[in-house]
Structure 1
Amino acid sequence: MGVRLRRNLLTSLAVAAVAMAVGTTLAQAEGKPDGNGRSATQRAVPADQASGRSALAVSAEVSRASASIQKRIADHVRDNGTRYTFGAYADAVSGKVVVETDAPAEVVSSLVGPHRGMVEVRRQAVTDNFSRRDDVPAYWGGAGITDTPGLPHCSAGYTVQNSSGARFMVTAGHCFGNGTNAFTELGGRYFGTAFGNGLPSQDMVLLGGESYGSFIYVGGVNSSTGHHVASAGNPVVGFTNYCHSGRTTGEHCGHTVNSVNGIVCTSSGCKSPVMVWTGGVLTQGGDSGSPVYALSVSGTDKHIRGHNIAASGNTRYAELWSRVQARFGVSIVT
């Protein structure tokens, strides 16, 4: 997903804006100094108003073209998912409709339609102002999470919900003990509080208390792109193109599941049965808790199979989705 709306962040910004507006109104009523020796009622007129220039406006024709193209883009993303990113607007300076996108020419042509002569296409991706290691609510799987902001620790897995609809994030149990607060790796935002830890026999824990979305991060370690989670189930032994997505190594595919009946015993205890996988770019420290998944045919939807918990040489171990589902009585959020 290239463009991602974050309700909590937008709500915070809106509240801040209201607070600023209220503060300004009160200051004007009370005649308080503004810090420059002037009373609020004597403040200078903003430069954009003092210039005497009329606001620029696009022609009605360009405005209609922009509205038409924006609707086409929204319909395309709704029907085809977020494989490509888009930004479109009527530019009052150039007098054209600007379309910024990384979509191929044939897709752009279908979206621009009969308005081609009024459009300036800019070939560039549109990204969100957040990233895998600096996530914001609603939180996604594959994000960097920690018990000490600024220090790498573990990765978020995927979002689940209970029968009441309450949402939680799954991660590895050895990452957070019960009652421990998790934060985003960068930014130090509260990510949730751990509970229901399954150790020593089940390496899983839930994080709750925040907003969690139905996406997991894809791409590199600083990616701001997420793909939709479509389902969850156990892996098929012998399949050779499973993927993982974590804060240390990013997203990689080409993994083969060798067994779903393995056992792994570490300092945190013995876990069984677990998924055993090999092949491809392997997980590293900090990828614990990261999701293991299968791709849809299109590659844009992800099908959860479990989450990473342990490593040995060229072998990796992961908890199975069915064990998470059974322990917590949850379903996958899609």
Structure 2
Amino acid sequence: MFKARTALVALAAVALTLTTLGSAQAQGPGGEKDREAGVSAPRNAGPAPDGTAPQTLAAPGAPGALETIQSRIAAYVEGHGTDYGFASYVDGTTGKLVLQTDAPDALVAELTDLSGASAAENAAADAIELRRSAPVDTFDRRDDSPPFYGGGGLRSGNSLCSSGYAVTNSAGTRFMVTAGHCYANGAAVTTESGANAYGTVSNRRLPTVTNEPVDMELIGGQSYAPRVFTGGVTSNTSIPIVSAGGAVVGYDDYCHSGRTTGENCGHTATSIDGQVCTQTGCKSPVIVYNGGTISQGGDSGGTFYAKNSSGAWVRGHVIAGGGGNGYVQPWTVVSSTLGVNIVTG
């Protein structure tokens, strides 16, 4: 509402300014075309398409009951945290009070007990429609929100890459790692959707930039979490990062997580001292893997890891692929080159 009011005030100010200046002063270098671009009265387009919707319904006592229950829920969440999800409203098509939650029955009964309220409010609460599921934040690996996870989609200009894993430097400042061939130092990065600022690039290391045989950079300035997206390309599931270290040749269930192919496992590490040379130079040593779905364009920077019931064990981040192989910048090289530590959680 505040933004809407601000926009209306701004438009009113523009209209007043143009009127005060007069048509001669309002005319710019473009002459009549400039003047036509000014603020004009809205065209009479008739009623809005949704202006003929039927009148909403509300059972007697339902609005008052809703206000009491919502107040109780807000107080509970403030005091106990967000272990349970809640959504509550009066359904305008049925008139009934609706509560969606995964909270246990005893807590639901406590929050919805209106026996001391008016008869109408008590009746509305007794007739509540209970839906047994938890509402969740709407986000996914291509439209992440802070704190940001590994394996999410990144964008700067027209370039898409993937996030790797959260690290800290010697001062305790937290960053997200991605591939050095993704973005230039100082580039402003957003989530793939462009909805959220992801941070600013620094510490770019690449053969064609710093003459080092590595492919890494940091993104900083926002909040980054020690988690990695799992599942498909629009998944919002994730697992925690529990450790980081070197890969083991012959292990056959490594995973990578990125915006293009999602999470894919069943990779076998065939070498930990390989070399890969691309349009951005030669990098070595790198982890070479095959098997399963190999990483593709846009997966660069995405997390490479082993996982178990505890979470993800980071081994590096994806930097190249082709010919049935994938290539990974090892974590051990990242940590020694940039002087960073993995963030776990």
Q: TM-score, normalised by structure 2?
A: 0.65
Q: Does residue 253 of structure 1 match 2:251?
A: no
Which of 262, 270, 289 aligns to 2:282? It is 270
Q: Aligned-pair distance for 1:296?
A: 2.1
Structure 1 partner of 2:65: 57
Percent identity, please: 43
Structure 2 partner of 1:161: 168
**Does the C-alpha gap of structure 1 residues 199 and 216 become closer, same or farther in structure 2, counting only changes over 3 Å?**
same
**Does the C-alpha gap of structure 1 residues 319 and 73 become closer, same or farther in structure 2, counting only changes over 3 Å?**
same
Structure 1 partner of 2:199: 192
Structure 2 partner of 1:306: 316
Aligned positions of 1:64-213 closer than 5 A? 87-88=85-86, 98-100=100-102, 111-112=104-105, 122=131, 126-148=135-157, 151=158, 153-200=160-207, 201-213=213-225
Which of 310, 315, 335 aligns to 1:325? It is 335
Between stretches 217-226 and 286-295, larger displacement belongs to 217-226
Q: Does residue 288 of structure 1 match 2:286?
A: no
- Give the letter for the 1:166 counterpart: T
1:138-192 deviation per Cα after TM superposition (whole angstroms, max 9, x unaligned): 22211111221xx451111111011221011100011112222222211253222
Q: Secondary structure at the match of 2:333?
A: helix
Q: TM-score, normalised by structure 1?
A: 0.67
Structure 1 partner of 2:26: none
Q: Aligned-pair distance for 1:121?
A: 6.8
Conserved? CA contact 2:295–2:326, under 8 Å: yes
- Greater Cα radius of gyration, structure 1 or 2: 2
**Does the C-alpha gap of structure 1 residues 114 and 134 become closer, same or farther in structure 2, counting only changes over 3 Å?**
closer
The separation in 1 between residues aligned to 2:221 and 2:76, in whole angstroms, is 41
The separation in 2 between residues aligned to 1:114 and 1:52, in whole angstroms, is 25
The separation in 1 between residues aligned to 2:265 and 2:144, in whole angstroms, is 23
Q: Aligned-pair distance for 1:311?
A: 1.0
The separation in 1 between residues aligned to 2:290 and 2:276, in whole angstroms, is 15
Q: Secondary structure at the match of 1:57?
A: helix
1:201-226 deviation per Cα after TM superposition (whole angstroms, max 9, x unaligned): 10011111222122222211112233
Q: Secondary structure at the match of 2:304?
A: strand
Structure 1 partner of 2:47: none
Aligned residues: 271
1:56-91 deviation per Cα after TM superposition (whole angstroms, max 9, x unaligned): 338x99x999999999996xx6xxxxxxxx534688
What stretches of structure 2 of length at least 5 have no aligned partner? 7-55, 113-127, 208-212
**Does the C-alpha gap of structure 1 residues 123 and 70 become closer, same or farther in structure 2, counting only changes over 3 Å?**
farther
Q: Secondary structure at the match of 1:324?
A: helix
1:240-259 deviation per Cα after TM superposition (whole angstroms, max 9, x unaligned): 11111101011111111111
Aligned positions of 1:35-54 closer than 5 A? none
**Does the C-alpha gap of structure 1 residues 72 and 95 become closer, same or farther in structure 2, counting only changes over 3 Å?**
farther
Q: Aligned-pair distance for 1:114?
A: 9.8
Q: Aligned-pair distance for 1:115?
A: 7.7
Structure 2 partner of 1:279: 291
Q: Aligned-pair distance for 1:320?
A: 0.6
Q: Secondary structure at the match of 2:226?
A: strand
**Does the C-alpha gap of structure 1 residues 67 and 98 become closer, same or farther in structure 2, counting only changes over 3 Å?**
farther
The separation in 1 between residues aligned to 2:301 and 2:133, in whole angstroms, is 33
Conserved? CA contact 1:65–1:115, under 8 Å: no
**Does the C-alpha gap of structure 1 residues 115 and 210 become closer, same or farther in structure 2, counting only changes over 3 Å?**
closer
Conserved? CA contact 1:99–1:120, under 8 Å: no
The separation in 2 between residues aligned to 1:238 and 1:261, in whole angstroms, is 13
Conserved? CA contact 1:217–1:245, under 8 Å: yes
Higher relative contact order (CA 8 A, sep 6+): 1
The separation in 1 between residues aligned to 2:292 and 2:131, in whole angstroms, is 35
Between stretches 183-192 and 310-319, larger displacement belongs to 183-192
Q: Aligned-pair distance for 1:303?
A: 1.5
